Amino acid sequence: MMLNDVRMKGFKKRMHFLDVFDVIREHVKCAGSESVSVDDCVSRVTFGDVRAQLDAPPFNKSAVDGYAVLARDTYGASQYNPAKLKIVGECAAGESCGVVMKGEALRIMTGGMVPTGACACVMAEYCEEKDGYVLVYKPVAEALNVCMQGEDVKRGTIAVHKGVRITPYCAGVLASVGCSEVTVFRKPNVAIIVTGSELVESKPKSGQIIDSNSHTLCALVCDCGGEVLSKKRVGDDYESIKGEIVSSDADVIIVTGATSCGKKDYVPLVVDECGELLVHGVAMKPAGPFGVGKVGGKIVFLLPGNPVAACVAFDFFVRFALEVMVGIYDGEKILVKGVLARKVASAVGRTDIFRVKYCNGVVEPVRVGGSGVLSSMIRANAYLVVPENIDGYAKGTEVSVRLF
């Protein structure tokens, strides 16, 4: 029945770590788009370039409280020889304003429209009012303290490029240029299937374990912009696993556990039978028993049941897939450089992923008792990847780490 039944035989051949990304890129589909209000756009990803519908700012705007003047009227002004300008009016924010001519000044508030004629604003701190005049104690250059119309973003230009995760600052820019609706990628929806007859929600009996993976994975899916469509726990039996995988409507299916070469590791068999098993077994640690498949046009990720391995497999492979689905190809997690506080020893021929604590230039590998020690992920804040052609790094080596 099975072409690739590896149960109890071990992986014949493990794929190179970097090759897995190529397979994923080739097989995931774009998530499609939807339109959302600027109020709801934060953490979404722009589907196309977003062009400004308005100049920002929409007019020459004072950046200070003070006086709108002609810059050349203030040249040579000093503490002992202030420029004396006639106050011809006042312009508060939101108001329309007059004209300023040579020898004149207009009282202006931050955000106020700089009047025709004026080309700079002097801060109130450097001025003194006296009998309808203002004494200016400091010269200003042209355009000083003026936010020029369109200097932030010009109407018609690209305010935010496509494939950008919208930050709070980004949302502010979009609002300011009149983009009240934004076209973003639809959130990829994800089905999480946790396998393991030993797993229970709570109150474990002898031989039973509380399922922690579903909690971690749900949160990680949301963290990288996906949506959890369903979350199921199934026992180690072929038909239940098959039923869940085949009936899912999700864009992405994540199955944890039963992905390796054990007698009851049915997930690779199900995927192979019902679709295509593209990757099974990766030359890496942790998360070696990782796999990728396709069933009914949907991508299926086979994550090891070991909680740390599941986290690593998610953070490198599933996160990458979800990012590609929303048009992000370079990866969003920031790489930082730091110096290793202790050596790390790795195996040649295998990509090793260490959990490390990065703090202001220093990379401290987290001491771990065993590969299943999920609490090590609490003490870490970054991953250090040691490529397969390297057997580790000496203390003091400068390395790049990937922040969680």
Interactions with a copy of itself, residue window 86-145 (CB under 8 A):
90, 92-97, 107, 109-113, 123-126, 129
Q: How far apart are CA 321 and CA 343, in angstroms?
A: 32
Candidate residues 169, 297, 329, 389; the one interacting with a copy of itself per rule CB under 8 A: 169
* From candidates 306, 318, 321, 353, binder to a copy of itself by CB under 8 A: 306
Binding a copy of itself (rule: CB under 8 A), the pick from 213, 248, 346, 351 is 213
Q: Can you tell me the distance from the alpha carbon of 91 to that of 113, in angstroms, rounded to the nearest whole number?
A: 7
CB atoms within 10 A of CB 72: 15
CB of 26 to a copy of itself, least distance (A): 27
CB of 307 to a copy of itself, least distance (A): 6
Output the DSSP codes for 132-165: TEEEE-S---TTTTEE-TTSSB-TTSEEE-TT-B
| CB 30, CB 327: distance < 8 Å | yes
148 binds a copy of itself (CB under 8 A): yes
Q: Applying CB under 8 A, does 336 fall inside the site for a copy of itself?
A: yes
Minimal distance, residue 372 CB to a copy of itself, in Å: 4
Residue 40's contacts (CB-CB under 8 Å, 6 or more residues apart) are none
Q: What's the rounded Cα separation, in Å, for the pair 73 and 60?
A: 19
- Position 345 contacts a copy of itself (CB under 8 A): no
**And the tokens for 49?**
């370039």
Site string for a copy of itself, 364-403 (x = CB under 8 A): -----xxxxxxx-xx--x------------------x--x
Q: How far is the CB of 378 from a copy of itself (least distance, A)?
A: 5
Binder of a copy of itself out of 2, 10, 276, 342 (CB under 8 A): 10
Binding mask 51-80 for a copy of itself (x = CB under 8 A): ---x-xxxx-x-xxx---------------
Closest to a copy of itself by CB, 88 vs 159, is 159
In DSSP terms, 108 is beta-bridged to 66, 91
**Interaction between residue 223 and a copy of itself (CB under 8 A):** yes
Residue 222 to residue 351: CA distance in whole angstroms: 27
Tokens representing residue 216 in the block:
């971690």
Check binding of 265 to a copy of itself (CB under 8 A). yes
- By beta-carbon proximity to a copy of itself, the closer residue of 298 and 402 is 402
Among 139, 225, 338, 365, contact with a copy of itself (rule: CB under 8 A): 338
In terms of CB distance, is 237 or 273 closer to a copy of itself?
A: 237
Tell me whether the omega of the peptide bond preceding residue 57 falls within 30 degrees of 0, making it cis: yes
Minimum distance, C-beta of residue 395 to a copy of itself, in the bound complex (Å): 17
Decide: residue 180, CB within 10 A, 0-12 exposed, 13-18 middle, 19+ buried.
Answer: exposed
Q: Is 212 one of the binding residues for a copy of itself (CB under 8 A)? A: yes
Subset of 34-53 contacting a copy of itself (CB under 8 A): 38-39, 42
Beta bridge partners, 291, equal 280, 302
Specify whether the CB–CB gap between 89 and 97 falls below 8 A.
yes
First to last CA, the chain: 42
Residues linked to residue 254 through DSSP beta bridges, in sequence order: 192, 301
Give whole-number Cα distances, 276 to 190, 290, 293, 391, in Å: 19, 15, 5, 34
User: Which one, of 69, 136, 142, lies nearest residue 107 by Cα?
Assistant: 69
Contact 345, 363 (CB under 8 A): no
Residue whose CB is less far from a copy of itself, 27 or 229: 229
Number of chain residues interacting with a copy of itself (CB under 8 A): 114
Min dist. Cβ of residue 394 to a copy of itself (A): 19
Least gap, CB of 300 to a copy of itself (angstroms): 19
